[in-house]
Amino acid sequence: MSLFQLLRSEFKAIFTNPVVALTVFGGVIFYSFLYPLPYINQTPTEQEITVVNLDKSQASYQLERMVDATPQVNIVARSGSIEEAKEHLLNGDVSGIFVIPEHFYRDLMLEKSPTLAFAGDASYFLVYGTIVEGLAHAGGTLAGKVNVVRLLSEGVPMSMAEQQYAAFHVNMKPTFNPEIGYLNYVVPAVFVLILQQTLIMRLA
């Protein structure tokens, strides 16, 4: 038997066997649509958190509004204590806890660095990272505003105060995952797994 006849015989056996054809070709097409569906939105947004505001000052409420305004985070509850917030997290009502400490406003006025605490469910790393990103962005924005006000009170012009409130500026340019999302991160590896599974099932 020549090589051409052997190849023709093998292809005929593959295409005329409905089980093999469905597994090899139908499986690839089916999985190609099935696997990307959970990641179609690319990045998680509006993650639900609860806030524990132990300071209850105007500045702390302003920080709450800034956190809630970020696309990454959505404040759905306000807890009176850390223990109450922990119960919300353990029950699955929220994905994270944001704690504003006591004397938050006082420390800002004294040019100290108050510590903002966060606890969250890190089972899904991108979800956890999204919440941290939103909180960090809101906290950094408020800190920048406070620094600008302080510089203006010292007689620094607005144009210079806006440039000097931060020691450095970050310009992030993702290279291999421009959307910083699930789809480009997960699906290429999943397709390799699909091919491997279908080939193994074909051999079996």
pLDDT tens for 162-204 read 666 555 555 656 666 666 666 677 777 777 777 777 777 666 5
* Range of lowest pLDDT (16-20, 75-79, 121-125, 167-171): 167-171
Residue pLDDT, tens place only, 104-155:
888 888 878 888 888 888 777 778 888 888 888 888 888 777 777 777 777 7
Specify the pTM: 0.63
Strands (E), 28-167: 47-53, 73-79, 96-100, 117-120
Measured CA to CA in angstroms, residue 100 lies from 14, 61, 154 at distances of: 64, 10, 28
The per-residue pLDDT for range 36-48, each reduced to its tens digit, is 776 666 677 888 9
What residue has token string 């203006």? 152
- CA 46-51-54 angle, to 5 degrees, is 160
